[in-house]
Amino acid sequence: MGNGKFAKEFAKGIILANPVFVLALGLCPTLAISTSIDNALGMTLAVLIVLLGSNIIIALIRNFVPNITRIPIFIVIIATLVTVVNLIFHAYLPATYEALGIFLPLIVVNCIILGRAEAFASKNPVASSIADALGITVGFMLALLMISFIRQVLGTGGLSVFGHDLFTLPGLRDHPIAIFILPYGAFLVIGLLMGLFRRTGVMKNE
Amino acid sequence: MNELFAVFLGMVLINNFILVRFLGLCPFFGVSKQLNSAISMGVAVTFVMAVSSLATWLIRHYILIPLDIEYMNIVIFILVIATLVQIIELFIKKTNLGLYFSFGIYLPLITTNCAVLGITLINTNQDYSLSGSLVAALGGGLGFTLVLAMMSGIREKLEMANTPKSMKGLPIAFITAALLGLAFVGFSGII
């Protein structure tokens, strides 16, 4: 496979098929953990490991899996990878493990992972499946970072990443707009962002 | 008894599955366009949540904990849920064909609904008793159905409303969910 095709599969996931804003997949974790940049990065790392692993394994075995039992097989592969990620996070990133809570094991039922396995990795060779996994993860990361950035800055009045204070907004620091850090703020931010993307033509109207 | 009631009320109104815990959002935005399908989906999910909570509690306490393989939680739970959904689907198809057709595509889709795996993980994390797990599952399912039904009513009206072109469909549904969630904050004082 040439570089051109690899780049194409990679770029597709970032804008045209952005999993969150365009396909509206994986909404549960996106909304739930986008309260801080730390959580967004932790979630991205977990999704990267699981998606990359499942896309590679499924692309490798795609010719041996009987069509009728493919979904249960994919689910077991994904569940095993999620268990591994869960144990790794518990051991090496305990703070992130606590912050992500049940959304770390819930990656099993994240439609992005099974969706890519079914729609892409089960029909394509390993190299393009890797490109697909990386592109989709970058698209997921950008969406998460965008939402988390807005929520964290408006909801806490500043930005700190892994304990380093990057900046604070003096007025907001004392009186942050708490709704953005609460669950309802997540719905508000993603709704407004989607509307904005459609208005500016980045995304198509319905 | 009081404690169970508090768990139930908390699941339905305060820690609502959709609005606060963000579980089961895919059907929330996918199915909530019509009242009928919203209620069918809600009932199906509630039923599967209750049966899965029962099954996973028994498996956890009689197999996983004695064998000390609790780290296998995720794999076992998802297999149990997938199997249960299949069995329930076959059972309904044999016994009540009308109900089977009214559930339609929603039943098989429940396997990948995070509300179902979510409730089993919540039961595990909170270490609820058997009755506690069951009550939590029923409360969570009822809260899910309630919000799904409310949302479908609102969306039926929204179709007719004069929303800006770029906000039509999903974006305005998200904003509506935010407002609905804010309204539910009013319940947080009752326990």
Which tens digit of pLDDT belongs to each residue from B35-87? 877 888 888 889 889 999 999 999 999 988 888 888 888 899 999 988 888 88
The pLDDT value given to residue A184: 87
Contact across the interface for A191 and B79, Cβ inside 8 Å? no
Res B2 pLDDT > 60: yes
The pLDDT value given to residue A93: 92
Residue B187, in any domain of the structure: no
Instruction: Inform me whether the C-beta atom of residue B173 falls under 8 Å from chain A C-beta atoms.
Output: yes
Residue B191, in any domain of the structure: no
Cβ pairs A/B, distance under 8 A: 124
Tell me which residue range forms the domain holding B152.
30-176
The pLDDT value given to residue A57: 95
The pLDDT value given to residue A53: 95
Count of domains for chain B: 1
What average pLDDT does range A101-107 have in this prediction? 89
Contact across the interface for A114 and B125, Cβ inside 8 Å? no
Q: What is the DSSP string of chain B?
A: -HHHHHHHHIIIIIS-TTTTT--SHHHHHHHTTSHHHHHHHHHHHHHHHHHHHHHHHHHIIIIIHHHT-GGGHHHHHHHHHHHHHHHHHHHHHHH-HHHHHHHTTHHHHGGG-HHHHHHHHHHHHHT--HHHHHHHHHHHHHHHHHHHHHHHHHHHHHHHS---GGGTTHHHHHHHHHHHHHHHHGGGG--
- Residue B169: list chain A partners with CB under 8 A: 206
Residue B11, in any domain of the structure: no
What average pLDDT does range A22-27 have in this prediction? 75
CA distance B133 to B182: 27
What average pLDDT does range B131-155 have in this prediction? 91
Greater pLDDT, B176 or B40: B176
- Residue A46: list chain B partners with CB under 8 A: none
The pLDDT value given to residue A52: 94
The pLDDT value given to residue A7: 78
Q: For chain B, what percent of residues have pLDDT higher than 90?
A: 19
Residue B86, in any domain of the structure: yes
Digit-coded pLDDT (tens) for A136-188: 899 889 889 999 999 998 888 878 888 777 777 777 777 888 888 888 888 99
The pLDDT value given to residue A50: 95
Residue whose entry in the numeric block shows the structure tokens 């906000």: B167
Least CB-CB distance to A109: which of B113, B171, B178? B113
Of the residues A28, A34, A82, A205, the best mutation for testing chain B's interface (the one with the most B CB atoms within 10 Å of its CB) is: A28
What residue segments make up the domains of chain A, in order of their start?
3-199
ipTM above 0.90, yes or no: no
Task: Work out the minimum CA distance from B102 to partner chain A, whole angstroms.
Answer: 24
Instruction: Inform me whether the C-beta atom of residue A183 falls under 8 Å from chain B C-beta atoms.
Output: yes
The pLDDT value given to residue B111: 78
Residue B102, in any domain of the structure: yes
Task: Work out the minimum CA distance from A110 to partner chain B, whole angstroms.
Answer: 8
- Give the mean pLDDT of chain A: 85
The pLDDT value given to residue B91: 84
Contact across the interface for B185 and A106, Cβ inside 8 Å? no
Q: What is the DSSP string of A115-136?
A: HHIIIIITTS-HHHHHHHHHHH
* B143 token code pair: 């809260």
CA distance A5 to B183: 49
Of the residues A21, A39, A108, the best mutation for testing chain B's interface (the one with the most B CB atoms within 10 Å of its CB) is: A108
